Structure 1
Amino acid sequence: MNTTPPTRPDVPPGAGRRGPGRPPGARTGDRGTRDRILEAARRQFAQGTYATTTIRAVAAAADVNPALVIHYFGSKRDLFAATLRLPLHLREQIAALVRTDPDHAGEHLVRLYLRLWQDPIARAPIAAMIRSVFSDPDAAEAFGAFVSDHMVGPLVAALGRDQPALRVSLVAGHLVGLAVGRHILGVTPLANADTEHLTACVAPVIQHYLTGPLPPPTP
């Protein structure tokens, strides 16, 4: 007689069993467990790089089975993308940019982006990603998608100018380069400049990318 309990297809192996020290709440569908995994992932990515962070390390830090990490997030790349999701108050500010005066969109976007690096929740995973973009194509793609899809893309779409894909790329490239010089390489005086000074310097360029005339594509 087969006494093996049936396997539920929607639960990863081991997800229903408690490991050593594993809290009772660590089960499929537990929002608290998912949040704990996400917080552990933020710490792991911030302490290392995309390449050196593993699913097993994140699972150990969150005190869950690695299969549960995969169940919630699918892959390391998807897990990293989840750590980059902006806090609610920043998402609301970006949504507000879409409704702002088009003539000042560049200024508001640059100021918000620079302040993002001062946010304790957002800064660590973003800094970890930028450290990784030079050596890992998955990391580079994920960070580029973060800036393009969550910060720049909605604004460009709302402004409705021509060549939107090129405008998104120009803005995203400029903002990523600014962050690399200021926060990763520590280039002086970028690293020492205050937010408002940098905003005044960079905003006109970003404004042109967003709403100014661009040369027509080469036939």
Structure 2
Amino acid sequence: MSPRGRRPGGEDTRAAIIGAARSEFAQRGYDGTSLRGVAREAGVDPKLVHHYFDGKTELFAEVMAFPANPAVLVEQIAAAPRAQLGETLARAFLTAWDSPEGRERFAAMFAAAAAHEEHARMVREFVGREVLHRVVETMQPRDGTAPQSGESLELRVALGAAQLVGMGMLRYVVKVPAVADATVEEVVAILGPTLQHHLVPPSG
């Protein structure tokens, strides 16, 4: 079989990159997928992948139809004072998913993760690598005091994520009226302190 020629730029090229990325993520998971591998699968120069997408995080967000760039949300969370981390995280989550389109995408993403192991693997690896790990890094003290145990922090962040995902399931998938009909600020006011308790130790 003769090698495929590389595509020129254009909307067809962007679509080909997304299609190739979807295949690569499904076969190799998030951790095992590289932008160079996506370019090879799409038959394009690797520079074109970087032209259309600012890294693997943004490409994954496009494939999964995230309503916002997760990297930008994590930067917002990282910039928050430690005393407001729980509130900031809750508000960022709700801001990303609370539009009608975002609600539909959330429901579709978790339905697919529940039905297909390869999809669940992609989400699991992405959340672990690009969200939880980065939030853990932001929680380490910056005042010269000893860092907290990585395992303890990862557990705290994972439990915080469980709170968010559980709320999202009740708000967007199961649609329990009390949760689905509450305003963003009502949810933030109640959920924020719970997340703060998970994420920041009392002595932090």
Q: TM-score range by the shorter chain?
A: 0.5 to 0.7
Task: Report SS of the residue matched to 1:147.
Answer: helix
Counterpart position of 2:11: 32
1:131 aligns with 2:120: no
| Whole-Å separation in 2 of the counterparts to 1:134 and 1:89 | 23
**Paired residues for 1:1-219 under 5 Å:** 7-8=2-3, 11=4, 28=7, 30=9, 32-37=11-16, 71-72=41-42, 82-84=62-64, 91-119=71-99, 124-160=104-140, 161-162=148-149, 163-212=152-201
Aligned residue pairs total 165
Report the Cα distance in structure 2 between the residues aligned to 1:116 and 1:176, rounded to whole angstroms.
Answer: 13
Larger CA Rg, structure 1 vs 2? 1
Question: Structure 2 CA distance, aligned partners of 1:198 and 1:38?
Answer: 38
Local SS of the residue matching 1:190: helix
Q: Give identity over the alignment, percent.
A: 25
What 5-or-longer segments of structure 2 have no aligned partner?
27-37, 44-58, 141-147
What SS does structure 1 have at the residue aligned with 2:180? coil
Q: Matches of 2:104 and 2:15 in 1, distance apart?
A: 16
Q: State the 1:134 CA deviation.
A: 2.3
CA distance in 2, matches of 1:192, 1:88: 22
Q: Sort the Cα spacing of 1:90 and 1:115 in 2 relative to 1 into closer, same or farther, 3 A.
A: same
Aligned mates of 2:169, 2:17 — CA distance in 1: 25
Is the contact made by 1:107 and 1:200 (CA closer than 8 Å) also made in structure 2? yes
The 8 Å contact of residues 110 and 203 in structure 1, kept in 2 or not, is answered as yes
* Aligned residue number for residue 63 of structure 1: none
Letter in 2 for 1:141: R
| Residue identity matched to 1:202 | L
Higher helix share: 2
TM-score by length of 1: 0.60
- Aligned-pair CA distance for 1:40: 8.1
> Contact 2:66 / 2:105 at 8 angstroms: preserved in 1?
no
Counterpart code for 1:72? A
Q: Contact (CA 8 Å) 2:171, 2:180: kept in 1 or not?
A: yes
RMSD: 3.8
Write the distance in 2 (CA, Å) between the matches of 1:141 and 1:89: 20
- What is the deviation of 1:124? 4.6
Native 8 Å contact 2:77 2:135 kept in 1 = yes
Letter in 2 for 1:71: E
Matches of 1:153 and 1:32 in 2, distance apart?
Answer: 33
In structure 1, what is the Cα distance between the partners aligned to 2:108 and 2:17?
15
* Conserved? CA contact 1:152–1:171, under 8 Å: no
Contact preservation (8 Å) 1:83, 1:125? no
Question: Which residues of structure 1 form unaligned runs of 5+?
Answer: 1-5, 17-26, 46-53, 55-67, 74-78, 215-219
Q: Per-residue deviation at 1:166? A: 1.0
